[in-house]
Amino acid sequence: MGSKAKDSPAGYLRSPLTRSEIEQLRRSLLDWYHQQGRDLPWRQTQDPYAIWISEIMLQQTQVQTVIPYYQRWLKAFPTVFDLAKAEQQQVLKLWQGLGYYARARNLHRAASKIVQDWGGQFPTQYEQAIALPGIGRTTAGGILSAAFNQPQPILDGNVKRVLARLVALPLPLKRAESQLWQISEQVLAPDQARDFNQAIMDLGATVCTPKAPSCLLCPWLTLCHAHQLNLQSTLPMREAAVPLPHKQIGVAVIWNQQGQILIDRRRQEGLLGGLWEFPGGKIEPGETVPDCIAREIREELGIEIEVGDRLITLDHTYTHFKVTLNVHHCRHLQGEPQPLECDEVRWVSLSELDDFPFPKANERIIAALRQR
Ligand code: SF4
């Protein structure tokens, strides 16, 4: 590190690394990667379609969780043409359990676009790639570097943490996005972008981990500013935590006289769009759970029900809020269910529920129904 940078925290953000430091960083990281890099299924291919699928799955999900999903996906949809012509329900079903379902809907939409606009070839230009649904800057960089060895930087959560420690970033990550992109671009080995980007992700996942990084095993040990300052466990700086809002939800498992259950498909736009669920909604202040359920079902489906015994109460945490689902058995009294606030409604048997993609929290309701 240059002494100028040490004197002024802001100096880190302008020019944290000298040319010779950058050369050393590239060499040492690539050497380490060639010996210690992880053997991951998407590294055995240069097929941009397969790499794209892996990049999207990895956006918010751990590698070990992604591997079986990735393998199942490529079996079901080996090419972009197979994905483009699939039904959305099939795509969502295959995604079930990975969360952040907008990723699956966007993959499906982008596949149609690639087939229509690019004859089934994944676009090789950055501007074209980033214009596809669900592809942001780091995903575009990840795909183009891994598939075509293009010198495109990346900045996922692991990379941000590693770079913030490397330069001892004196700001929380969210307030230094553009500086971190600059550093990612600076350190990238332009002629070995594929390996370099994979290497820095591996470094973050296996050595420069969020808690207790293994600095003594790190190829960047001698150049890392956080390590020199003994700040590796306190960086990156954190924003003050804000408690998540908590919503109480009333949920109805509505039975008809044939022993079937009513489910509805959520609207495409918004959280969990296109997935099926048991109907219900937010409990208003002063409202009891049964009152809420009866009102929601009237408003959303236009039918009258009798709210019966409690089936289960469960908590679920999303990225920006928590919910408690208060689930009750209900009996259909009158009216034909209408999709007033959803895309579709259906009466199904308990065994047919497996044919529909449900959000994770609803899977626990299905399990509780099967234990009755
Ligand atoms: S020396 Fe430690 S803190 Fe610095 S990059 Fe390596 S593992 Fe991370």
In the three-class reduction of DSSP (H, G, I as helix; E, B as strand; rest coil), residue 88 is classed as helix
**Residues 77, 83: contact at Cβ < 8 Å?**
yes
Atom of ligand 1 lying closest to residue 218 CA = 6
Domain 3-228 class, CATH top level: mainly alpha
Q: Is domain 246-370 annotated with CATH 3.40.50.720?
A: no
Torsion over CA: 117, 118, 122, 126 (sign):
negative
Q: Can 3-228 and 246-370 be said to share one CATH topology? A: no
Q: Is the entire prediction scored with pTM above 0.95? A: no
Per-residue pLDDT of the chain (372 residues; tens, 9 = 90+): 433 334 344 444 545 689 999 999 999 999 999 999 999 999 999 999 999 999 999 998 999 999 999 999 999 999 999 999 999 999 999 999 998 899 999 999 999 999 999 999 999 999 999 999 999 999 999 999 999 999 999 999 999 999 999 999 999 999 999 999 999 999 999 999 999 999 999 999 999 999 999 999 999 999 999 999 999 999 999 887 788 899 999 999 999 999 999 999 999 887 888 999 999 999 998 999 999 999 999 999 999 999 999 999 999 998 889 999 999 999 999 999 999 999 999 999 999 999 999 998 899 999 999 987
Residue 162 Cβ contacting ligand 1 at under 6 Å: yes
Q: What is the distance of C-alpha 339 from the center of its chain?
A: 29
55 assigned to active site: yes
| Crossing angle for the helix pair 193-202 and 137-148, to the nearest 10 degrees | 120
Domain boundaries of the chain, sorted by first residue: 3-228, 246-370
Residue 215 Cβ contacting ligand 1 at under 6 Å: yes
21, 55, 277, 300: which one is catalytic?
Answer: 55
Residue 345 Cβ contacting ligand 1 at under 6 Å: no
Where do we find the tokens 């969990």? 272
CA–CA gap between residue 116 and residue 141 (Å, rounded): 23
Residues 6+ apart with CB under 8 A from 71: 41
